[in-house]
Chains A and B, each alone.
Chain A
């Protein structure tokens, strides 16, 4: 039984560079969420997919951010022209929508991004 995996675990980049993160959800899960967690704060919702459709985006997701989930399996989160304020832990979670309706989400280990 494999859980949610994320790659890379750590990424250091220079301001202005583009970065891409990958998330592999639990195989039978049809929903995939991205959250961002800054130091000393709880995770904040960025976006989520049901299968390959992106159903909701937070206002935190500026136009420099884009997420995809081709074929409804793994997902990528890309940040273009990174800024120092993008430094955070990026968490991915997956769930099986439907029964039970409370939508228990399982989290990956996160990707820690540091923008210099």
Chain B
């Protein structure tokens, strides 16, 4: 069975600081991995995805994530946080053509 664990339900950073949101997965087969962002009272927007083409994945809004098979991790980073990055972030995993399995989410707060 597949699963996702997001370490840290709440992360706080200062504007301009590095953002690091952690995600570890469990999968018996090579997974597809995703990061989504959710703003209050809105649906989910895809930030980036890992589909085995490259281990370092670049997404929208300056975010990137690195797939590390040995660590079963897919951590999300951004070099410099912006106030507009404050939101809920979800890591998700699936196999081809199946439903997404989400982590519990990490709330990112950005202070000025």
**Chain A residues in contact with chain B, CB under 8 A?**
4, 31, 33, 35, 40-45, 48, 56, 58, 91, 93, 97, 100-110, 112
Contacts and interface: CB of A to CB of B under 8 A. Distances in A.
Given A42-B102, A110-B41, 20 more contacts: A31-B97, A40-B9, A41-B104, A42-B103, A45-B101, A56-B99, A91-B43, A93-B44, A97-B97, A102-B49, A102-B96, A103-B94, A103-B96, A103-B97, A104-B49, A105-B46, A107-B44, A109-B41, A109-B42, A109-B43
Most chain A beta-carbon contacts within 10 A, residue among B4, B45, B46, B100: B100
Contacts, number: 65
Interface string B89-112: 010101011111111110000000
Which applies to chain A's interface (DSSP): helix, strand, loop or mixed? loop
Size band of the interface chain B makes with A: 20 to 34
